[in-house]
Chain A
Amino acid sequence: MSNLEGYWKANTSLIRNLLIVWALVSYVFGILLVEPLNGIRLGGLPLGFWFAQQGSIYVFVILIFYYAWKMDQLDRHYGVHE
């Protein structure tokens, strides 16, 4: 049972960390800090605008695949995979 508790704990802390990144790129970079970040340019776009309309979406895709890949490792480590 402690084995499963360890698995669940590892899972929830992974989720927490990824959700911090999720909130950072969208709510913080894309909305709350958009004006100061717009002072920086990425190519032809202001950086805050880029996060709001492009960058956060790229990060979201990476987050999900990273989660799936990391969970594969956790599943095997705790022996709960199919």
Chain B
Amino acid sequence: MSVEAWTYLLVGITFALYIYIGYASRVRETAGFYVAGRGVPAIANGAATAADWMSAASFISMAGLISFMGYDGAVYLMGWTGGYVLLALLLAPYLRKYGKYTVPDFIGDRYYSHTARAVAAIATIFISLTYVAGQMRGVGIVFSRFLQVDIATGVIIGVAVVAFFAVLGGMKGITWTQVAQYSVLIIAYLIPAIAIANVLTGNPVPQLAFTFSDLVSRLNQIQVDLGFTEYTKPFQGKPMIDILAITLALMVGTAGLPHVIIRFYTVPDVRSARYSAGWALLFIALLYTTAPAVAAFARYNLISTLHGKTLEEVRQIDWVAKWEKTKLLAFVDKDGDGKVTVAPGRAFALKGGRPDFNTPDEKSRNEVHIDNDIIVLSTPEVAKLAPWVIALVAAGGLAAALSTAAGLLLAMSSAISHDIYYRIFRPNATEAQRLLAGRIVILLAVVLAGYFGVNPPGFVAQVVAFAFGLAAASLFPAILLGIFDKRMNREGAIAGILVGLIFTAVMIGMMRAPQIFGAPAPVIPNLFGISAEGVGVIGMILNFVVAYLVSRATPPPPEHIQHLVEEIRIPKGAGQAAEH
């Protein structure tokens, strides 16, 4: 059977599975819709959280990014996993004990303020919307690359599937679908990784092959011979201060992401919230410790397959010919010797941020352009695996994108239908009305996400840093202080959120002025060496300082709020709240 037939088959089977699970877990009350009835076991919640959080970018692009960044790729590895430690120790157990439906719920109640609730809800919507646009685009790309349908058709199919299980089953449907999606995506990621580790080093466990073979030493040597710096040499692309800032921003940002936090409301008690954070990170670590191995293997393999061979030779390799057609892999014979040279620098000049395939970049001897995204997608072909494995990778990429999209849509829907509509405007709404509002909003959000997937706003890649910075600078400090500082009051929290938010927005706006506003140059390139990706850390620090100073200068929070804080610090009683 051809790769294409296998892809249709596997994608069809997995989609049918997601739809079946969504139908089987349809819900009739708001607790089921928003928090899956709080009955999700810790391991299942861990798998769902892992799928929820690992996006199309983690699955398709991350290993490629690391492959090109070498050591500096550690910002993503440590940053995106280290946040779970903060989440598990500092937030998840207490939010579960508090036990309502959303993040703005906690912030609004803890700070006895509709202003705080609205700010948190708007931050949630913004963060989720930024993210979801990228996910739907990912769905479209996987479809167009593997099934030869156009991107718009791919997005519409994806939208229809997500709409079905999210509208019908709410959080309950999403949770069990995500458990299935995690299984699909991790199998799809590991099979090619194991195969390529085995081919290159004879050790099938990628993590062990990475650490205990001499492959990385050989890669270092090849890189040096070709004029690159060693693969493992730190701070080649970014200064140390920026690596520190980005790692911290990604950690804190991850801990503050609303669609991840709400997953911890779905477990039965505080104890399960703690363990499910551990399971989530274990499941994520399976992919995140494989990715740097795949990155190094792929880089070694690409360089040694391409460098010094003649153009005719490399074009006879099946996967080279295939990827060259998509322009994700491109050659230019600058020195006219008929052979491929891999060297530092660009093969082609950039035009509007993309390579211009008609203009070779004469500043460098490099003759190969390799897009980040082909690293993961090409490993099965490079390792000469069967067609069904290649099809599985397509299904895995779709699972990663759809599961994240569904989680984000629910976070957005609950911020609008629960926090804004019900808690602020219509506190008398009946159960049925609230459920209907939730379903209508999620349907609208799916359509909006689909629109962004077909007509991608150019800013998506640029503002993902913004989503993390925003979560780090606004939501995380407010939640943390709400739990650990009993004296923190409404005035302090709101002032802190506003300062953190405005500072981070202005900084990113100035640093990314060319991408966001089309300015000719950034207003400032960086702040003391910290780039737009890491600047949320400064916003977070400002938030903490301002919140502390303002809260101490204003009256303490009312008696019942101080009791609420004492109450969420002890696990007892979380299960009873679940039965209400």
A residues contacting B by CB (< 8 A) are 4, 7-8, 11-12, 15, 18-19, 22, 26-27, 30-32, 34-35, 38, 42-46, 48-50, 52-54, 56-58, 60-61, 63-65, 67-68, 71-72, 75, 80-82
Instruction: Assess A52 versus B77: contact at CB under 8 Å? Given A15-B90, A57-B289, A61-B285.
Output: yes
Contact present for A44 and B71 (CB under 8 Å): no
Count class of interface residues, chain B: 35 or more
Q: Contacts of A32 on B, CB cut-off 8 Å?
A: 240, 244
Contact present for B85 and A60 (CB under 8 Å): yes
Q: Contacts of A53 on B, CB cut-off 8 Å?
A: 66, 71, 73-74, 77, 292
Q: Contacts of B275 on A, CB cut-off 8 Å?
A: 65, 68
Contact present for A63 and B85 (CB under 8 Å): yes
Q: Contacts of A72 on B, CB cut-off 8 Å?
A: 271
Q: Contacts of A19 on B, CB cut-off 8 Å?
A: 85, 89
Q: Contacts of B248 on A, CB cut-off 8 Å?
A: 27
B312 at the binding interface (Cβ < 8 Å): no
A64–B145 Cα gap in the complex (Å)? 39
The residues in B between 237 and 257 inclusive whose CB is less than 8 angstroms from any CB of A are 240, 243-244, 247-248
Query: What are 9 A-B contacts defined by CB distance under 8 Å?
Result: A4-B566, A22-B82, A26-B247, A31-B247, A34-B71, A43-B212, A49-B71, A49-B234, A60-B281
Contact present for B270 and A82 (CB under 8 Å): yes
Q: Contacts of A30 on B, CB cut-off 8 Å?
A: 74, 78
Q: Contacts of B574 on A, CB cut-off 8 Å?
A: 82
Contact of B82 among A34, A46, A49, A56 (CB under 8 A): A56
Interface string of B76-114 (1 = CB under 8 A from A): 011001101100111001000000000000000000000
B residues contacting A by CB (< 8 A) are 66, 71, 73-74, 77-78, 81-82, 84-85, 88-90, 93, 207, 210-217, 232, 234, 240, 243-244, 247-248, 269-271, 274-275, 277-278, 281-282, 285, 288-289, 292, 484, 566, 569-575
Contact of A54 among B211, B217, B278, B571 (CB under 8 A): B211
Contact present for B292 and A54 (CB under 8 Å): yes
Q: Contacts of A11 on B, CB cut-off 8 Å?
A: 569
A11–B211 Cα gap in the complex (Å)? 36
B254 to chain A, nearest CB (A): 11
Q: Contacts of A52 on B, CB cut-off 8 Å?
A: 71, 74, 77-78, 234
A70–B392 Cα gap in the complex (Å)? 40
Contact present for B85 and A57 (CB under 8 Å): no
How many A-B pairs fall under 8 Å by CB?
140
Instruction: Assess A80 versus B232: contact at CB under 8 Å? Given A34-B71, A56-B78, A57-B288.
Output: no
Chain A interface secondary structure, helix, strand, loop or mixed?
A: helix
A29 to chain B, nearest CB (A): 10
A13–B210 Cα gap in the complex (Å)? 36
Contact present for B77 and A57 (CB under 8 Å): yes
Contact present for B278 and A31 (CB under 8 Å): no
A61–B288 Cα gap in the complex (Å)? 12
Contact present for B572 and A26 (CB under 8 Å): no
B66, B71, B74, B234: which has the most chain A beta carbons within 10 Å?
B74
Chain B, residue nearest A7 (CB): B570
Contact present for A44 and B217 (CB under 8 Å): yes
Contact present for B234 and A4 (CB under 8 Å): no
A45–B219 Cα gap in the complex (Å)? 11
Q: Contacts of B85 on A, CB cut-off 8 Å?
A: 18-19, 22, 60, 63-64
